[in-house]
Amino acid sequence: MEVFKVTTEVYADADIKSILAELKCEKVTIITDAMMVKVGLIAKVEDALKKSDIQYDIFDGVEMNPSLESVKKALDQVIDFSPETIIAVGGGSTLDSAKAVRYFLKRTGIDIPVIAIPTTSGTGSEVTSYAVITDTVNSVKIPIKDEEMMPKIAILDPEFTRTLPKSVVADGGIDALTHAIEAYSCSVANFHTQIYAMTAIKGIFKNLLKMYRNIEDRDARVEMAKASCIAGIAFEKSGLGINHSVAHAIGGKFHKPHGRSNGVVLPYIIRFNSENMETAQKYYEIAKELELPCSSVKEGAESLAIAVEILNRELGIPARVKDMGIDEVEYNKLIPEMAETALNDICTGGNIRKVNVEDLKDIFRKVF
């Protein structure tokens, strides 16, 4: 028996003002980062709350790769203000931070729901029970998964992605594509998750470059928000794979954007997993849906890897880790440690092909 349940209420192509006007509470904490305040997006949320006479407090100390320390600061501020709801406004780092705050609050018996307003089209964090927090002492990214972290509401308002710089569009979009491809191909993918994942893959290939080249293209922003969201739903139910494990390890040690790390690694992982024709079948199926050359399973899998490489190039994403500005000597020294970290990553168990630490060492060497 397969059970498929989507917990979060998703409002796509929505206006936050109309949704927040229905909010039944007296106090709200907004969790965000300083840039969201600077560009005026938080003012839009403030205006909506003021019209409903809702008191609010703002924590704007979210970091690009949220650390345990910054989550604790947010947690302390939320406890002091005692809101009934948390509104998270930002990219994956912000949404993960808010979800982590909810996670720790629940451990103490305090239940505060999260409303997620993503400002990027990439992480899908608005509909998942995952959060990735960085242990800065040991330079390790810690993926947390708990059903209680799932946001109650997700609002996909295209006005909140209209000011994104090209690099963020690229990193977020390729992150969403990685989610979708891994969700489709992972070891426990099923009929339901594959429908969501394939729809996301097709939507991203159709709309990501449009959004990247012209941020004023509202339709592209709306469709990318939907694609990112349903990719999140897919991997929430199916899991991911070693693409994320490897990216987590690189990001943890060298503090590079998660989405960009995923994109750099993706063609290599497709090829690694496709060395076995049985595991290559999933990539062939994706290539066929995208109408790429696929007269055989082998050709289809390779076509997908090439299509990702071309997309990366058009988005300005490097073809190898070395081009992300990482020192070769330091990187090589850390390969054994990163391989062990990746092997123990929560995402590795879902990979379509079983791996060992030597496989991962070889992958780290190849992607550099």
The model's pLDDT over 184-226, given as tens digits with 9 standing for 90+, comes to 999 999 999 999 999 999 999 999 999 999 999 999 999 999 9
Task: Indicate whether 272 pLDDT > 90.
Answer: yes
Rounded mean pLDDT, 273-297: 95
Cβ(322)–Cβ(328) under 8 Å?
yes
Per-residue pLDDT at 252: 86
Per DSSP, helices labelled H in the chain are 16-20, 34-38, 41-51, 68-81, 92-107, 166-185, 191-213, 218-238, 242-254, 258-273, 277-289, 297-315, 328-343, 357-367
Distance of CA 89 to the CA centre of its chain: 15
Angle (nearest 5°) at CA 276 between 273 and 178: 20
Cβ(105)–Cβ(38) under 8 Å?
no
The predicted-structure confidence for 119-170, as pLDDT tens digits, reads as follows: 999 989 999 998 888 888 887 778 788 888 999 999 999 999 999 999 999 9
Per DSSP, helices labelled H in 239-356 are 242-254, 258-273, 277-289, 297-315, 328-343
* CATH number of the 166-367 domain: 1.20.1090.10
Task: Indicate whether 65 pLDDT > 90.
Answer: no
pLDDT band at 3 (very low <50, low <70, confident <90, very high): low
Tokens of 104: 């720790």
In 3D, which of 53, 65, 134, 125 has the Cα closest to residue 89?
A: 125
Cβ(119)–Cβ(31) under 8 Å?
no
Q: For the chain, where do the domains classified as CATH 3.40.50.1970 start and end?
A: 9-161
Q: For the chain, where do the domains classified as CATH 1.20.1090.10 start and end?
A: 166-367
Query: Dihedral angle at the C-alpha atoms of 141, 142, 146, 149, nearest 10 degrees?
Result: -50
Distances (CA, A) of 234 to 65, 97, 246: 23, 21, 20
* CATH number of the 9-161 domain: 3.40.50.1970
Q: Does the reported pTM lie above 0.85?
A: yes
**Helix, coil or strand: residue 129:** coil
Per-residue pLDDT at 144: 84
Per-residue pLDDT at 136: 80
Question: In terms of pLDDT, which residue wins out, 2 or 318?
Answer: 318
Q: How many CB atoms lie within 10 A of CB 148?
A: 12
Worst-scoring range by mean pLDDT, 26-30, 66-70, 206-210, 305-309? 66-70
Q: How many CB atoms lie within 10 A of CB 163?
A: 14
pLDDT band at 5 (very low <50, low <70, confident <90, very high): low
Per-residue pLDDT at 240: 95
CA atoms of 305 and 294, how far apart (whole Å): 12
pLDDT band at 322 (very low <50, low <70, confident <90, very high): very high
The predicted-structure confidence for 225-271, as pLDDT tens digits, reads as follows: 999 999 999 999 999 999 999 999 999 899 898 999 999 999 999 99
